[in-house]
Amino acid sequence: MIALCIGRKEQGKTTLAYHLAYPFPTRIIFDPREHFFTSSTQIEEGSELYDHLDDKAEIIIKPADHYPEQFEIVCDQLRHWVRDNHEEEFALLIDEAYDIKTPEYMPASLDWLMRKTKRKQTRIIFTAHRPVDISTDIRALSDNWLIFQSTQEHDLRIIAERCGREVADEVQKLRPREFINWDDSIGTWTKFMDPRAWYMSLSRKETDDARTASAN
């Protein structure tokens, strides 16, 4: 499944994204803005990723700079691991898609992960302030749009084109930490009004990094 969490700062999109990723036994979080402190396994270089994937539940990549280049390395490493471990389930969370510049360049390994992995086995999640921060190719492949309040005219036009005018009208009325989930597979939307259903602390330090969780 590919999910887009779209919203302005402090609306809850990053927390919601982590809620979606957490059930998976292996979680890879690309965190250029250093929002996540949920695992003691934190690395700066994408080239270190493969060595942790077999025995760590959650790996957070906090690159110092060159975000698009480091992200491509992360995707290359993850694709290599998936090819070596065909049945493994994983979640890849990319926080703040703007930083990886997918409208300008999308790594071939990311395209492979989105197209070639099994839908129930994989959850790839992007957060973004605006739909335009995510390439049209990614938006076309996405299964769910989770949209917090949006009022910018260009954003609403993109939302209406993909999700329908009704959704574009409704997202303008949302209160803080409310969102609409557009399920593209069945063409329906649901409004979520209670953040207690998905709130998770991003400052929690895991006491056990072993891969013990199981996917839903």
- What's the whole-model pTM score? 0.93
Is 197 within the bounds of a domain? no
Angle at 109 between CA 104 and CA 110, to 5 degrees: 60
What is the predicted pLDDT for the residue at 204? Answer: 72
What is the predicted pLDDT for the residue at 206? Answer: 54
Is 189 within the bounds of a domain? no
Is 20 within the bounds of a domain? yes
Tokens representing residue 140 in the block: 């076309």
Is 155 within the bounds of a domain? no
Ranges of the chain whose pLDDT falls below 50 = 207-208, 213-216
Is 102 within the bounds of a domain? yes
Is 15 within the bounds of a domain? yes
Domain that holds residue 50: 2-146
Residue corresponding to tokens 């209406």: 160
CATH assignment at residue 104: 3.40.50.300
Is 203 within the bounds of a domain? no
Write out pLDDT tens, residues 75-100. 999 999 999 998 899 999 999 999 99
Q: Count structural domains, the chain.
A: 1
What is the predicted pLDDT for the residue at 214? Answer: 44
Write out pLDDT tens, residues 195-216. 999 999 998 765 445 555 444 4
Q: How far apart are CA 83 and CA 71, in angstroms?
A: 18
Is 156 within the bounds of a domain? no
